Amino acid sequence: MAFFSGFSFKRTHQVIVDAVIFGLSWIFAYLVRFEGIPTGPYTGYIGQMLLFLPVMILARILLNYAFSVYNIIWRYISIRDAFVILRATAPVTIGLTLLRFLAPSSLASLRVPISVIVIEFLLVLLGAGSARAVRRLTFEDYAQGKLQNGAKDEIKNVLLIGAGDGGNAVIKELQQRSDLGMVVVGFVDDDPEKRGKSIQGVKVLGDTSRIPEFAQAFGVTEAIITIVNASSKDIRRIVEICQGAGLKVRIVPGIFEMLDDKVQITRVRQINIDDLLGRSVFNLAGHLPEVTKVYGGKRILVTGAGGSIGSELCRQLATMKPAEIVLLDKDENSIFEIDNDLRDHAETGVPIRPVIANIKNGDRLKLVFAKYRPEIVFHAAAHKHVPLMELNVSEAILNNVLGTINVVETAAAAGVERVIFISTDKAANPTSVMGATKKLGEIVVQNCAKRNGTKFSCVRFGNVLGSRGSAVPLFRRQIERGGPVTVTHPEMRRYFMSIAEAVHLIIQSGTLGEKGEIFVLDMGEPIRIIDMVKSLIRLSGQREEDIEIRYVGIRPGEKLYEEILIDEERTRSTKFEKVFIAPPMENSNGKAMRYIQDILNAAGEGDAEKIVAILSDMGIGFHREDRA
């Protein structure tokens, strides 16, 4: 058995094994049919058996080559590969059957009995499949035995948390990867129906509350969360249990990281802040086909393509097979990075067009639209840092308002089919200049939507984890330096979502817009910034008491609590479970539009005080937050 496990099955070895199986299957089919060697009136069938024997072996081997059966690695044989073997086996059997019924009487010796044909077909399938299955099973036993007989300090006993599809994929790969030094002692799953059952020969031991018990009983040092669609709430609970048991915890990627729907051990990674705060259960597969239909084959332009949201938009859109993607940004380094990233993953075959341009330059935009003729535009370019825009008021107006006017008007004039404007939760009753500029951007979009046939929509959402404007990178750097970590206020709360999920919801929302509707995303429950900081400290391997947390006060333009995005009494649901339509904009939109030119003039003159005064008079809800 050990010899069979360690034996190298090259293609020549596979052919030899198959030749033996094919020959024996043909002979045994006759022996079964005639209950031994044909005798008496059936003696003639011995000649038929010997006549066909070399033909059957050669024909089946050639068909195996034709159907790429010998490209299958035996120790990784799967159910899918079994169907390849079936397809390679069927033609000879069909040929024999046709010959049996269509051969003339003068060729009666070529008419093989139907029972022999059927028995031989079944024996070939059973023999070829079994040889490969035995090879896989013995290899796995050999690998596990080799691993368990190795040095004890090289072996890691592992618990898999989640006995579903993700767990099944991970255990199959681990059983074939002795080089990883990981022995799975069991599954843990909260579904009572699964307890006591086995997956790939590994037992479901119990629920997650018993993780410390299993860790001690089996000497477990690591746990892997294999629940692909686990929510942040569940992950936080499981991580706390595992950390309490002294286990290292890793996780399979979230559903938004796996648009190809493949779970692999090589993708298992460390827990990050997105997992603890930004993951939610989501029906991606259910809506992906209809969303892809809208963007497939279209020429798409993304402004701000080098930013956190813009670059992820480009990555996800590339999987939907558009005709081309135009990457527009004023920052050449950012465009260089996303351009290279998309080309490094060029299996989609989507043409990528990098363009360096500033949305404040309307004439430049007209040239870009005339050259590339985009059919769909995602407008993600914006200044987003709240405190910085309080110090650079004029630039905030010129980039976020004038830039949006340029993009929207140019797109409408060029006959673009859809324009999706990326807004923010800070546009609701804005207390910051940045939030006010995004509110004005929404008004500009809705005003243009009334005047032409282009479909417009706005998408509001809260903070995304890991973006350039996020505090997470700053907190990480402060933790790496040993502190202090600076937090504005102990009760500061924000809505959070992972970049990947936010972008997919933006893409979904873009398929719904008609006349400038404002779509808001369900961001879940608001999270205290201090709780996020404590989670980051623990993820870094530090103890909370080892890192000083220093409160520095709320910065200009910031709110203590962000506005509630989803108001059950006022918002309307859509066919996408996390996308809602906000109530109609106030009747003061017309008043705001009358002030647009005045505020652009003030920005051109660099008059920050006048800009703030105009914002206060525009009727857009702009007010300064009381920080007393």
Distances (CA, A) of 223 to 253, 258, 438: 15, 21, 44
- Percent of the chain exceeding pLDDT 70 equals 81
What does the pLDDT look like over 24-47, one tens digit per residue?
888 888 888 888 888 777 777 888
- Give me the residues paired with residue 433 across strands: none
CA-CA distance, 256 to 558, in Å (whole number)? 30
Let me know if 451 is exposed, middle or buried by CB neighbors in 10 A (0-12, 13-18, 19+).
exposed
Specify whether 166 is located in the same domain as 215.
yes
CA-CA distance, 471 to 527, in Å (whole number)? 13
- Does residue 393 fall inside a structural domain? no
Asked whether residue 568 carries a pLDDT value surpassing 70, the answer given is no
Specify whether 368 is located in the same domain as 476.
yes
CA-CA distance, 601 to 619, in Å (whole number)? 19
Are the C-beta atoms of 525 and 359 separated by less than 8 Å? no
| pLDDT recorded at residue 451 | 80
Distances (CA, A) of 149 to 8, 92, 452: 21, 46, 74
Specify whether 237 is located in the same domain as 355.
no
- Percent of the chain exceeding pLDDT 90 equals 22
Confidence of residue 2 (pLDDT cuts 50, 70, 90): very low
CA geometry: angle 174, 176, 178, nearest 5 deg: 80
CA-CA distance, 208 to 241, in Å (whole number)? 8
Asked whether residue 556 carries a pLDDT value surpassing 80, the answer given is no
Specify whether 310 is located in the same domain as 198.
no
Give the residue from 171, 183, 170, 187 showing the smallest Cα distance to 143.
183
Using CA of residue 146, residue 151, residue 152, residue 155, what is the dihedral sign? negative
The average pLDDT across 93-117 equals: 83
Asked whether residue 140 carries a pLDDT value surpassing 70, the answer given is no
Backbone φ, ψ for residue 367 (5° rounding): -65, -40
Name the 3-class secondary structure at 518.
strand
- Does residue 411 fall inside a structural domain? no
CA-CA distance, 316 to 19, in Å (whole number)? 48
Which helix (H) or strand (E) is 125 found in, with range?
helix 114-148
The average pLDDT across 322-336 equals: 94
Are the C-beta atoms of 248 and 284 separated by less than 8 Å? no
**Which among 148, 175, 197 is the end of a domain?**
148
Give the end-to-end CA distance of the chain in Å, rounded to a whole number.
Answer: 79
What does the pLDDT look like over 426-446, one tens digit per residue?
888 888 899 999 999 999 998
CA-CA distance, 206 to 188, in Å (whole number)? 5
Among 153-162, 215-224, 347-356, 359-368, where is mean pLDDT lowest?
A: 153-162
Are the C-beta atoms of 446 and 625 separated by less than 8 Å? no
Mean pLDDT over the full length of the chain: 80
Specify whether 329 is located in the same domain as 476.
yes
Specify whether 122 is located in the same domain as 199.
no
Helix axes 608-617 and 433-449, enclosed angle (nearest 10): 60
- Does residue 607 fall inside a structural domain? no
CA-CA distance, 372 to 411, in Å (whole number)? 12
Location of structure tokens 């993607």: 325
- Does residue 504 fall inside a structural domain? yes
- Does residue 396 fall inside a structural domain? no
Tell me which residue range forms the domain holding 19.
Answer: 2-148
Location of structure tokens 């030899």: 16
Backbone φ, ψ for residue 541 (5° rounding): 90, 5
Query: Is 367 or 595 the better-scoring residue by pLDDT?
Result: 367
CA 69 to chain centre: 32
Let me know if 617 is exposed, middle or buried by CB neighbors in 10 A (0-12, 13-18, 19+).
middle
Name the 3-class secondary structure at 201.
coil
| pLDDT recorded at residue 147 | 45
What does the pLDDT look like over 478-536, one tens digit per residue?
888 887 888 888 877 776 777 888 888 899 899 988 888 899 887 767 778 887 788 77
- Does residue 590 fall inside a structural domain? no
| pLDDT recorded at residue 278 | 56
Specify whether 140 is located in the same domain as 156.
no
The tokens for 552 are 């520095």
Specify whether 349 is located in the same domain as 482.
yes
DSSP secondary structure of 398-410:
IIIIIHHHHHHHH
Confidence of residue 572 (pLDDT cuts 50, 70, 90): confident
Which helix (H) or strand (E) is 377 found in, with range?
strand 376-379
CA-CA distance, 334 to 582, in Å (whole number)? 33
Asked whether residue 603 carries a pLDDT value surpassing 80, the answer given is yes
Query: Is 132 or 615 the better-scoring residue by pLDDT?
Result: 615
What is the arrangement of strands in the sheet containing 579-581, beginning at the earlier edge strand? 352-356, 324-329, 299-303, 376-379, 418-422, 455-460, 515-521, 579-581, 572-573
Overall domain count for the chain: 3
Asked whether residue 324 carries a pLDDT value surpassing 90, the answer given is yes
String of b and e for 60-89 (b: at least 16 CB within 10 Å)? bbebbeebebbebebbebeeebeebbeebb
Specify whether 471 is located in the same domain as 506.
yes
Specify whether 114 is located in the same domain as 226.
no
**Which among 127, 148, 169 is the end of a domain?**
148
- Does residue 604 fall inside a structural domain? no
pTM: 0.65
What is the CATH number for 500? 3.40.50.720
**Helices and strands counted in the chain (H then E):** 22, 22
Query: Is 347 or 130 the better-scoring residue by pLDDT?
Result: 130
Give the residue from 454, 291, 315 showing the smallest Cα distance to 380.
315
Specify whether 373 is located in the same domain as 479.
yes
Specify whether 370 is located in the same domain as 477.
yes
Confidence of residue 139 (pLDDT cuts 50, 70, 90): low
- Classify residue 562 by its DSSP letter: P
**Which among 204, 239, 271 is the end of a domain?**
271
